[in-house]
Structure 1
Amino acid sequence: MDKMSQEALAVKRAEQAFDRKRRTIGLFGAPILALLVFFTPIAGLTLEAHKLLAIMVLVALWWITEPVPIPVTSLIGPTLAVITGVVPAGTAFAAFANPMIFLFMGGFILAKAMMTHGIDKRFAYWLLSRSWVGSNPRRIFLAVGLAAALCSGWVSNTATAAMMFPICLGLLTSIKEMFAANGREIDLHEYKYATGLMLMTAYSCSIGGVLTPIGTPPNLIMLGFLDQMCNIHVSFFQWMTWGLIAMVLYFIIAYIVLSRIFPADVERIDGAEEFVRSKIAELGEWTRAQKNTVICFGVAVLLWVLPGFLSIALGGTSPVLKMYNRLFPEAVAAMAGALLLFLLPINFKRRQFTLTWSEAKEGIEWGTLILFGGGLAMGGMMYKTGLSQWVGDAIISMMGGEPSAIAMVAIFSVMALLLSELTSHTAATNMIGPLAITAAMSAGMDPIPVSVAIALSASLGFMLPVSTPPNAIVYASGYIPITKMIRTGVYIDFIGIACVTIPLAIYFVSWIVH
């Protein structure tokens, strides 16, 4: 067994031991702590809010320690709220029918169609085949990152990483064969460029998720909280204006850090262009299913971004814009594009359509939808019972009474980042989101900047293989020493927070003032 395999095995065993202890402690410790909270007198809380606080303690700790699957915990919270008399069943479970759920569902179905019919691969290989890329290793490094980032803005980060992983392996095989032809044998497990290429792939998949509301769950979760707790609606187009800036900044940071730490030691990679051309040839001509998928995806994107252009052209108070938003909200736009996949035929005589339900249901991440609904349910109940106001006042008091917008954004961004490194970034957002929004409202601040900052920061989980699925996928290659991932992840995480969240706070403060 080589050195890298031994290291990977040791890390895996350590992770398994840690997970076992974490789950055992959470399984028994969380209910005990929840009961202690319930039986401890707390001034300023109604009985319903006090009960909900105890339930929140249990749910939050189980989201972190995962003694049961995270989606199960997301159902336990609303169920206990009904059983203990906090709210009626209709109120507790209403969030599971939130339109945001259907926005996500439509996005999942569209993404599944793109993966099923190879649209994502076509785009990736098309980008790698551009003349400006060629055989230059630094440009290949850039093109791989761009392909991963742009795909993951619309397709699951995990699916994008799984799609890009074999592409990277093929490029690295070309490098190894090139060196062998020149009489030099290299071990890709110890080759710096291989480590950098794999990390660039994983990080870009997470970075691209910030581009659109459907790119990664934290985006929609925070938009859902804003809508439910503050009656603030952020459009798809508006989010993309922020997400694009964040994605570009994150990507530049990742590219500079990784290219400097893991530079290429050759000027060209012989065989890289041939590898890409062969893969494009394998894809063949465009099929009817692929064309239909692009049409459906285009319909959804057009419906998503059209309100932004209407607002620019006609003004935000235009009757046309108001009617459009009433008829085609984001969730309806997503479902319209997704449902077209079941209506556009690829062989009408055989009644074959672009996507089958058996294919679609495999692409819907039901656990994520349940987790999303559970988070919205808990946040909504916190607001209805007054618990959120109590928590917000307590946080503001601990922050000195009058925290600045920059301090508010920075503190909650770091909390979201650190928690997302250790547990699901979706669960982390569900825990921190309601607290941050209520704290901002208690301080008399606009809750939008802190909400956006949390969503963006939760996507910066780059330090550990367990932080995000893309990290775990590329780490399994054996080309990434754990120490290298931690080192580069720390750099990108905290530079990313400084470069995005603080300017975001300053921007919104100036916007509010003027």
Structure 2
Amino acid sequence: MSLKSLQIRILRNWEFFVIIGLPLLLLPLLFIPDDEVIGVAPNTRPSTKFKCAFVLILMAIYWMVEALPLAITALLPMVLFPLLGVQDTAKVSINYMKETNMMFVGGLIIAMAVEYCNLHRRIALTVMTTVGVSPIRLMCGIMLTTSFLSMWLSNTATAAMVCPISMAVLEELFPKPDETPHGFRKRRASIFKERSEVDFEAFVDKIKKKRAQLKHQQSLPAESFRTEPRPPKKMMKQLSFKIDPEPLEPSELTRFIRERDRQKDIQFEMQMEEQNENEDEHEENNDAENNPEKIRMAKRLNLKKMLLFSILLSSNIGGTGVITGTASNLVFQELIKPVNVGQGGKYVDISFATWMAYNIPPMMVNIAFSFIYLVVMYLGVPDWVYFWRKQKSTPNSDETEALNRVARVLEEKRRLLGKTSFHESAVFALFLIIVALWLFREPKFMKGWAEHISDADIGDSTAALFVVILLFIIPRNIETFCGVGDNNGGAVLTKTPPLLDWKYVQLNLPWGVILLMGGGFALSNAVVYSGLSEWLGRQLHAVETLPLTVILVVVMFLTATLTEVASNSACVNVVIPILIALSESLNIHPLYLTLPATVTCSYAFLLPVATPTNAIVFAAGGGDISIMEMVKVCLFPNFACIIVILLFHVTYGNLIFNFNDYTYPSLASSSTPLSPLLVVNGTFLR
């Protein structure tokens, strides 16, 4: 086997070599002596932090490069922790079905019910027809719809639903030409271009006929002799292998005519060559001025990119609005629970209501900024900005007709949905009920409903699964169920199905994400149990000399970089336990670093592999969007979103969670509250 073939074989099967080679590379971690004892007597135990670090690094790299499927990598704690003596199998397995997992399942099933009855499509079409159909209004409607739906549905499902609608609208505004494929220029035929085999054969027949005519014309008088222009010399050379090289014995007149034709051919070739050179030189510059079709296709391409990037940005940003918006938000909620941020009501804790209060304002600002950025980038500054100008551009008749077509298409799509059915109304009512239950379970400004019902701690998953059960009880068609319109005395002749079908749930529920969350919880739990988090906190204590604002900025930008190459949930599972240990080591509020880092994990805009949403948008581009262009367009919004959440966090977030005054339970009796993070005029002291 040659060296080159060996290299190709390794590159084609790189996942296998990473899976086998990485554990061997990390093997020294298992043999580092560790005599530390952790825990409080009499429940002390030997530290296994380096063995846990072995699994942590292994899973983090597997997640980043996706050598194994993400869900399969999440199962490694079930195998490695018991074998390495880090935790018992029973303790590890508990992490795979926690309360947060059940809330995730409940939220997804409710979202599936919305998709199952096409309620999400009705909402999208209603918003788009209400806002308007001009390019700016159209993108505004798409971003509003996408950001709202991605708050409650999965980002992937939202993008998969909105992309086809947007592309259908684009086709009505700028239909593709039928005569030429996109990206190819239709030019006039030239004698210097190759011809088809049919053209060659026809040309050969013509030459043979001409030779026969020449033989016949040699015996005719000169006055009666006529000839056709001779074919180009280049073409004769190309066809020389096909033409019978039978020599002719031309007369003097024939030689004269051939010489004359040859001179004409040369002159004709020079003229054609000069004309083609001029066309090639000036075509790109003159296309925009002389070819309206080129202008129309350029506008179409710009609008297509603008709409697709608006879907990408609004779906990712919209998922940060509520805690059920993305799996990474729920992972954070579960990881922060052991910290006991609220300490029995002493401090404001993370809940559905506080998360919305914290994230909705920066989400709206980021959506508005992304909208303005895309409009200016692809359409230029709108005329209404220059309000002092008297003359303003007005759409021509073709543009007006295109907008009318779009309005008719959207209206037709909405008409095809028919009247709002009982199925949609019931699902929408249950959707409003679950949102209200989540908001008012623990609203902070008043006593929540959960406290009035039971002394037990009722979580959000209880409310979610209650609504899920109702989805499988309430009939889909109340008239059929009640026998309205039947001629059988109201008897139900056929079974009325419920609002949601279980087979649909089985096929569409992302079971792998549930395993991914469970693997992250198991990893985080082992990091604390093995003493690794405490050890990392001591090692990172050296950053105490840096201002907290600098630490926060570094953490957010490092997280934003990591989330571009790893899934959002995997990134949160790896980063948040380390930040929790760092926060306790520095004696700062546990949400000061962890909360903005979690939100930053959703700002993965740059690469198609970063999130499934990005991959859907990239695929919908149909080759019109390159990876490099995706990076260039989305890099500025990525930085802008990080800056916005940073500014909101240190100002507005401080009003909600009061980062300046926090004491850990273990330090409550031996230390004073934290010194302020902010002083007058917003100057940071720590």
Same fold by TM (over 0.5)? yes
1:254 aligns with 2:246: no
Per the alignment, do residues 17 and 379 of structure 1 end up closer, same or farther by CA in structure 2, a change over 3 Å counting? farther
Once residues 380 and 340 of structure 1 are traced to their aligned partners in structure 2, the CA distance between those partners, rounded to angstroms, is 34
1:312 aligns with 2:459: no
Residue 325 of structure 1 deviates from its aligned partner by: 8.5
- Give the counterpart letter for 1:471 in structure 2: N
Residue 178 of structure 1 deviates from its aligned partner by: 11
Once residues 482 and 453 of structure 1 are traced to their aligned partners in structure 2, the CA distance between those partners, rounded to angstroms, is 27
- Give the counterpart letter for 2:467 in structure 1: G
1:292 aligns with 2:426: yes
Q: Write the mapping of 1:99-498 to structure 2, written as runs, cut at 5 A.
A: 99-130=99-130, 133-177=131-175, 184=293, 186-187=296-297, 191-230=301-340, 233-263=349-379, 269-309=403-443, 311-314=444-447, 321=451, 326=456, 328-347=458-477, 348=481, 349=492, 350-397=495-542, 399=543, 401-476=544-619, 477-478=621-622, 479-498=624-643
Match of 2:22 among 30, 35, 51: 30
Once residues 374 and 433 of structure 1 are traced to their aligned partners in structure 2, the CA distance between those partners, rounded to angstroms, is 14
Per the alignment, do residues 448 and 324 of structure 1 end up closer, same or farther by CA in structure 2, a change over 3 Å counting? farther
Once residues 639 and 13 of structure 2 are traced to their aligned partners in structure 1, the CA distance between those partners, rounded to angstroms, is 29
Q: In the alignment, is the contact (CA less than 8 A) between 1:229 and 1:380 conserved in 2?
A: no
Q: In the alignment, is the contact (CA less than 8 A) between 1:110 and 1:297 conserved in 2?
A: yes
Per the alignment, do residues 322 and 432 of structure 1 end up closer, same or farther by CA in structure 2, a change over 3 Å counting? farther
Residue 507 of structure 1 deviates from its aligned partner by: 4.8
Corresponding residue for 2:53?
Answer: 53
Normalized per residue, the structure richer in helix is 1
Matched position secondary structure for 1:262: helix
Among all aligned residue pairs of Structure 1 and Structure 2, give the percentage whose two residues are the same amino acid: 24
Residue 187 of structure 1 deviates from its aligned partner by: 3.1
Residue 351 of structure 1 deviates from its aligned partner by: 4.0
Per the alignment, do residues 197 and 325 of structure 1 end up closer, same or farther by CA in structure 2, a change over 3 Å counting? farther
- Give the counterpart letter for 1:248 in structure 2: M
Per the alignment, do residues 108 and 56 of structure 1 end up closer, same or farther by CA in structure 2, a change over 3 Å counting? same
Once residues 432 and 595 of structure 2 are traced to their aligned partners in structure 1, the CA distance between those partners, rounded to angstroms, is 26
Per the alignment, do residues 507 and 106 of structure 1 end up closer, same or farther by CA in structure 2, a change over 3 Å counting? same
1:180-236 per-position Cα deviation (integer Å, ceiling 9, x unaligned) = 9x9746336972121111110111111110011111111111111101344655211
1:236-274 per-position Cα deviation (integer Å, ceiling 9, x unaligned) = 111111221231122122112211111179856342211
Corresponding residue for 2:220?
Answer: none
Matched position secondary structure for 2:75: helix
Matched position secondary structure for 1:129: helix
Matched position secondary structure for 1:93: helix
Unaligned runs of 5+ in 2: 1-7, 38-45, 179-290, 343-348, 383-393, 482-491, 662-686
Matched position secondary structure for 1:354: coil
- Give the counterpart letter for 1:296 in structure 2: L
Q: In the alignment, is the contact (CA less than 8 A) between 1:229 and 1:383 conserved in 2?
A: no
Matched position secondary structure for 1:87: coil
Matched position secondary structure for 1:215: coil
Once residues 403 and 421 of structure 1 are traced to their aligned partners in structure 2, the CA distance between those partners, rounded to angstroms, is 27
Residue 25 of structure 1 deviates from its aligned partner by: 5.3
Structure 2 length normalisation: TM-score?
0.67
- Give the counterpart letter for 2:549 in structure 1: I
Unaligned runs of 5+ in 1: 1-15
Once residues 78 and 66 of structure 2 are traced to their aligned partners in structure 1, the CA distance between those partners, rounded to angstroms, is 17
- Give the counterpart letter for 1:187 in structure 2: M
| Between 265-274 and 489-498, the greater mean CA deviation after superposition | 265-274
Q: In the alignment, is the contact (CA less than 8 A) between 2:441 and 2:449 conserved in 1?
A: no
- Of structures 1 and 2, the larger Rg is shown by 2
Per the alignment, do residues 38 and 216 of structure 1 end up closer, same or farther by CA in structure 2, a change over 3 Å counting? same
- Give the counterpart letter for 1:375 in structure 2: G
Residue 137 of structure 1 deviates from its aligned partner by: 1.3
1:86 aligns with 2:86: yes
Once residues 178 and 260 of structure 1 are traced to their aligned partners in structure 2, the CA distance between those partners, rounded to angstroms, is 25
Per the alignment, do residues 380 and 20 of structure 1 end up closer, same or farther by CA in structure 2, a change over 3 Å counting? farther
- Give the counterpart letter for 1:191 in structure 2: L
1:252-297 per-position Cα deviation (integer Å, ceiling 9, x unaligned) = 2211221111117985634221111011001111222212211221
Once residues 65 and 338 of structure 1 are traced to their aligned partners in structure 2, the CA distance between those partners, rounded to angstroms, is 36
Per the alignment, do residues 76 and 163 of structure 1 end up closer, same or farther by CA in structure 2, a change over 3 Å counting? same
Q: In the alignment, is the contact (CA less than 8 A) between 1:30 and 1:57 conserved in 2?
A: no
Q: In the alignment, is the contact (CA less than 8 A) between 1:153 and 1:212 conserved in 2?
A: yes
Per the alignment, do residues 194 and 324 of structure 1 end up closer, same or farther by CA in structure 2, a change over 3 Å counting? farther
Once residues 116 and 17 of structure 1 are traced to their aligned partners in structure 2, the CA distance between those partners, rounded to angstroms, is 45
| Between 346-355 and 203-212, the greater mean CA deviation after superposition | 346-355
Corresponding residue for 1:512?
Answer: 659
Once residues 554 and 573 of structure 2 are traced to their aligned partners in structure 1, the CA distance between those partners, rounded to angstroms, is 16
Matched position secondary structure for 2:476: strand
Once residues 377 and 169 of structure 2 are traced to their aligned partners in structure 1, the CA distance between those partners, rounded to angstroms, is 19
| Between 279-288 and 499-508, the greater mean CA deviation after superposition | 499-508
Residue 146 of structure 1 deviates from its aligned partner by: 0.8
Structure 1 length normalisation: TM-score?
0.88
Matched position secondary structure for 2:587: coil
- Give the counterpart letter for 1:33 in structure 2: L
Once residues 449 and 434 of structure 2 are traced to their aligned partners in structure 1, the CA distance between those partners, rounded to angstroms, is 22
1:5-38 per-position Cα deviation (integer Å, ceiling 9, x unaligned) = xxxxxxxxxxx99996763553133212331222
1:60-110 per-position Cα deviation (integer Å, ceiling 9, x unaligned) = 111112211111111112321012221112211211121000100001101
Per the alignment, do residues 125 and 141 of structure 1 end up closer, same or farther by CA in structure 2, a change over 3 Å counting? same
Once residues 333 and 647 of structure 2 are traced to their aligned partners in structure 1, the CA distance between those partners, rounded to angstroms, is 20
Residue 301 of structure 1 deviates from its aligned partner by: 0.9
Once residues 498 and 334 of structure 1 are traced to their aligned partners in structure 2, the CA distance between those partners, rounded to angstroms, is 34
Per the alignment, do residues 55 and 203 of structure 1 end up closer, same or farther by CA in structure 2, a change over 3 Å counting? same
Corresponding residue for 2:283?
Answer: none
Cα-Cα RMSD: 2.8
Q: In the alignment, is the contact (CA less than 8 A) between 2:572 and 2:598 conserved in 1?
A: yes
| Between 291-300 and 428-437, the greater mean CA deviation after superposition | 291-300
| Between 205-214 and 47-56, the greater mean CA deviation after superposition | 47-56
Once residues 336 and 405 of structure 1 are traced to their aligned partners in structure 2, the CA distance between those partners, rounded to angstroms, is 43
- Give the counterpart letter for 1:66 in structure 2: E
Per the alignment, do residues 18 and 469 of structure 1 end up closer, same or farther by CA in structure 2, a change over 3 Å counting? farther
Residue 433 of structure 1 deviates from its aligned partner by: 1.3
Q: In the alignment, is the contact (CA less than 8 A) between 1:106 and 1:334 conserved in 2?
A: yes
